[in-house]
Amino acid sequence: MADPSPDRDFHRKHGFSPVINVNGTMTGLGASRAVPQAIAAVAEIMPHFVDMHELQSHASMVIQDLTGAEAGFVTASAAAGLSLAVAGCMTGLDPARAEQLPVATGDKCRVPVQMGHLCHYGAAIEQAIALTGATCVTVGQSTQVLDHQLAAALSENVAAAVYVVSHHVVEYGQIPLKRFCEICHAANVPVIVDAASEYDLRGFLRDGADLVLYSGHKFLGGPTSGIVAGRRDLVKAAYIQNLGIGRGMKVGKESIFGVMAALKAWKIRDHDAIRALEAEALSSWLRAVEGFEGVTATIHPDVTHNPLDRLKLAVDPALAGASAGAIGLALSRHDPPIIVRDHEVELGYIQLDPCNLAPGQAPVVAKALAEAFRNAAAGLLSEPDLNESRNQGIRSYLEWG
Hey, what domains does the chain have and what are their CATH numbers? 7-30+270-397 (3.90.1150.180), 36-268 (3.40.640.10)
Angle at the Cα of 139 from the Cα atoms of 135 and 144, rounded to 5 degrees:
155
pTM: 0.90
Assign 121 a pLDDT band (cuts: 50, 70, 90): confident
Neighbours of 13 (CB within 10 A): 8
**Sign of the alpha-carbon torsion through 102, 104, 108, 111:** positive
Q: Among candidates 202, 132, 199, 122, which has minimal Cα distance to 162? A: 132
Instruction: Fill in the DSSP letter of residue 116.
Output: G
Model pLDDT for residues 343-384, shown as the tens digit of each residue? 888 889 999 999 889 889 999 999 999 999 999 999 998 888
What angle (nearest 5°) sits at the alpha carbon of residue 288, between those of residues 282 and 289? 100
Backbone dihedral angles phi then psi of residue 229, each to the nearest 5 degrees: -135, 145
> What pLDDT is recorded for position 1?
45
| Alpha carbon distance 19, 91 (integer Å) | 44
Where do the DSSP E strands lie in 191-328?
191-194, 211-215, 226-230, 295-301, 309-315
pLDDT, one tens digit per residue, over 233-279 is 999 999 999 999 999 999 999 999 999 999 999 999 998 999 999 99
What integer pLDDT is reported at residue 382 of this predicted model?
85
Q: Report whether 139 contacts 115 (CB < 8 A).
A: yes
Cβ contacts of 310-313, under 8 Å, gap ≥ 24 = 310/282, 310/341, 310/351, 310/352, 310/353, 310/354, 311/282, 311/285, 311/286, 311/351, 311/352, 311/354, 312/349, 312/350, 312/351, 313/289, 313/349, 313/350, 313/351, 313/352
Give the sign of the dihedral formed by CA 181, CA 185, CA 189, CA 190: positive
pLDDT tens readout for residues 101-119: 999 877 789 999 999 999 8
Torsion-angle region of 15 (φ positive above 0: left; ψ -120 to 50: alpha; else: beta):
left
324-350: pLDDT as tens digits: 999 999 999 999 999 899 888 888 999
